[in-house]
Structure 1
Amino acid sequence: MRIKYVLAASTLMLSVASFAQKDELKTLKKLYAKDQMTSDEMVSYKANVNKLSGMTGLAETDLVYSNFYKAMLPILELNEAMMKNPNDLQALAKNLSPANINMMATGLNDVLAFEKKSGKAVYTEDINETITSFKPTMLQFAYGLNQASKFKESAKIFEAVYNLDKSDASNLYNASILAVQGKDYDNALKYYEELKKINYSGEGTSYLAVNKANGQEDAFGSDKDRANAIKIGTHEKPRDEKIPSKRGEIYKNYASILLEKGRADEAKKAISEARSLNPDDTDLILAEANLYYESKDLVTYKKLILEALAKKPNDADLHFNLGIVSTNTGDVDGAKKYYEKVISIDPKYFNAYNNLGALAIAGDDKIVKEMNSLGMSAKEAKRYDELKAKRQNMFKAAMPYYEKALELKPQDEGVKSMLLNIYQFLEMDAKHKALKAKK
């Protein structure tokens, strides 16, 4: 008797709890269906969300939709705040925090998965519309944090937006770049590992057209969107721009962080695995080369650059990199050859001219030191004249390179200073005076 009574009582309690759960969900469903809730209704919405959050033993359906209503709370609160004050940045920061967006990501995506499994699309369309509507606001907030140099915070928002909509991995890529800028290397590694896992490259096409109103080029999400803009007359002069693969950069940065953390073997393994999957990807060859450069293994670095150069013989950057390696290993003639090749490919390559100028006067500090150490004897005077003549020849050889570099970048203070020293030493008073007047 007693056992039966206890069981009956337990059954009764469970039934009451079940009805209570359904009542809260019914209330939330009714409130959520409104175009705009009143302040009192928002208070009721929050109260019912809190009641459900404290309950245990919810059925799968009730749990999924309970989390959905909770996940939507930041959006509803933001919407309410913006109705009162469209410029309420405090409300924006509070409701679009990484934690809130991640809560949305979990709650909304769980409903999408549940409704796909069950075949009953109750909120699927609404969720997709919500993501489409509010994602630009979230991204605008993230870009704003970036512009304010709050790189870590911006990275977290971009990561959360990716979690909300994983069809657009560019937001995770942005998170990785900003995490590196914010020196948040642990999270940067996590983002790069996810990018590697999904095999993200970022390669594609940018659809551009000139905005008739301001003359600036705007980017469109698709060729169709651009065609519509041209059709209605807001844009003109369409052109496509190829977006190169970012895979090499991703692996390079990933490996560099591992190297920084003393995990060189893992870094090399990651690059090696990537190259085995994409043997002809020159970006990955360069990423591996960069790894060996940072490891100070210039022999392997040069070997890899030459491998990349065999695939891209007219790549000015590759020749320039070989010039740097040759300089660092003391091969001045080799460095000069590579820099001159750069100029033959790209006559406006500023750094090649600047480096050729630096090569021409390499060792000048030693010459000056020796000149300053000499005394007044006839032998020392003769040596001084020899060194002075040598220095004059070096400066004459460097001068045209620096002049061309300054022509390409007139505001470069480093090149200006070098030319002023050269003109002064060579007693080219007119040129010295003219350049100094421009400073």
Structure 2
Amino acid sequence: MKSKYVILASALLISVATFAQKDQIKSAEKALKSGDAQGAVTILTGAESLVANAKDTEQAQFYFVKGNAYLDLANKKIDESKNLSLAAESYKKLIEVEKASGKQKYSTDAATSITNIKGLLINSAIADTQANKHKEGAKKLYDAYELDKKDTINLYYAASTAVNSQDFDLALPMYEELKKLNYSGKGTLFLATNKASGNEDNFSSAKDRDLAIKLGTHEKPKTEAIPSKRGEIYKNLALILVQKGRTEDAKKAIADARKANPEDTSLILTEANLYLESKDFETYKKLVGEALEKDPNNADLVFNLGVISAGAKNNADAEKYYLKAIEINPNYANAYLNLAALKLEAEKPIIDEMNKLGTSAKDMKRYDVLKAQREGVFRGVIPYLKKANELDPKNEDVAKTLLGVYKALEMTAEAKALKATMN
């Protein structure tokens, strides 16, 4: 008989707890309706330990009210990021409970709220990055991805933003997840200019864009390919791993990526850059050569071969590659700049010899020869420096170098005109 009384007592305790929880949910709803969202959260937090034993309908109601309370706080800009995440977490639990029970009462409203929260997180992240608060922005973009894992672009932006904040510990797991998903980001943009605003709008399909053109709301249609982002993703992943002293892991990550995406030439260059960072120049050149076989008109690849040749003091090859890059892309500013720098290296031995000369007739004659050679070097770089300055007018180093050359050659008019553009 005694044991029966114990069982009855336990049942009564559970019953009392359930009734208490119902009262707390009602009290929280009342507080929320009166504008006291924080009070509602406090009430529900006190009932958290009882939720597991509640009926499915009561659990769903509990998480729905809690989600609404957190969202209300976020909308009032109170710990906005934290409360948006907590609201989303509550709504997701609600949806899980109702999905398991097969009874849906709040799920539709919760799903709508989650979509709104996702938009709020993204907008808040954009505001953070514009204010140079990249770490905060990265976390919000990741939270947005967590809400809708089908929208993988938010994970990509979260990782990129984390890198901009120099928080590599935050960025690393994001890039590892992108690798696991084999994320590409490759796609197509269907664009047209909005006649009313003058802005370029993106459409979900060519059909939708063409309809807007037909209706007369848009003009100037164009289609642009969105290139694969795998090369950038694996490059950043590798560089982070290298920085952490995990070079072999970095090499393995890129090797895995290339196996999964054998036609993606950007990954070959990413692997090449890794070997460049580790100063394995022979492997670097081999990989760049492999990439050039697949994409011979890639100006970046050719330019990088010029950089590595210059680094190895092979100036003849460096000049050949820079000129080839310009042939492929006549507006390649860095190729013109590096060509000029390469040719200016010839000035140093001339200056060194001039400084060693004395005042004898023989030395003075040699001085005049060397002076003419130096002027020849300067005149030879002017076309490259002028083009680099034209293509990149904000580059102060280019302008200053060109100004120095003009002054050395006593080209007063040219120096004066250039200086006027620098002020």
Check whether TM > 0.5: yes
CA distance in 2, matches of 1:227, 1:26: 53
Checking the alignment, whether the CA contact within 8 Å between 2:403 and 2:415 is kept in structure 1 is yes
* Shift of residue 245, structure 1, vs aligned partner: 1.1
CA distance in 2, matches of 1:235, 1:121: 43
Tell me the residue number matched to 2:13. Answer: 13
Checking the alignment, whether the CA contact within 8 Å between 2:258 and 2:264 is kept in structure 1 is yes
CA distance in 2, matches of 1:131, 1:3: 48
Any idea what SS the aligned residue of 1:280 has? coil
CA distance in 1, matches of 2:51, 2:34: 30
* Shift of residue 310, structure 1, vs aligned partner: 0.8
CA distance in 2, matches of 1:249, 1:354: 25
Mapped pair 1:438 → 2:421: yes
* Shift of residue 64, structure 1, vs aligned partner: 5.4
- Structure 2 unaligned runs (5+)? none
**Matched AA of 1:4:** K
Tell me the residue number matched to 1:128. Answer: 111
Counterparts of 1:18-417 in structure 2, within 5 Å, are 18-25=18-25, 37-39=33-35, 42=37, 45-46=40-41, 48-55=43-50, 57-59=52-54, 61=56, 62-63=58-59, 65-79=61-75, 81=76, 91=77, 94-97=78-81, 99-221=82-204, 226=209, 234-417=217-400
Judged with a 3 Å threshold, the aligned counterparts in structure 2 of structure 1 residues 411 and 19 are, in CA distance, closer, same or farther, namely: closer
* Shift of residue 357, structure 1, vs aligned partner: 1.3
Identity within the alignment, % = 49
CA distance in 2, matches of 1:114, 1:56: 11
CA distance in 1, matches of 2:250, 2:196: 49
CA distance in 2, matches of 1:202, 1:114: 34
CA distance in 1, matches of 2:355, 2:406: 20
Judged with a 3 Å threshold, the aligned counterparts in structure 2 of structure 1 residues 239 and 38 are, in CA distance, closer, same or farther, namely: farther
CA distance in 1, matches of 2:204, 2:79: 27
Judged with a 3 Å threshold, the aligned counterparts in structure 2 of structure 1 residues 236 and 133 are, in CA distance, closer, same or farther, namely: farther
CA distance in 2, matches of 1:18, 1:413: 73
Any idea what SS the aligned residue of 2:20 has? helix
Checking the alignment, whether the CA contact within 8 Å between 1:207 and 1:226 is kept in structure 2 is yes
CA distance in 2, matches of 1:166, 1:31: 34
**Matched AA of 2:45:** N
Checking the alignment, whether the CA contact within 8 Å between 2:325 and 2:332 is kept in structure 1 is yes
Root-mean-square deviation over aligned CA pairs: 2.6
TM-score between both structures, scaled by the size of structure 1 = 0.87
TM-score between both structures, scaled by the size of structure 2 = 0.90
Deviation per CA, 1:109-165: give whole Å up to 9, x if none. Answer: 333344344433323322222233332222111100100001111111111111112
Judged with a 3 Å threshold, the aligned counterparts in structure 2 of structure 1 residues 221 and 146 are, in CA distance, closer, same or farther, namely: farther
CA distance in 2, matches of 1:26, 1:222: 48
The total of aligned residue pairs comes to 421
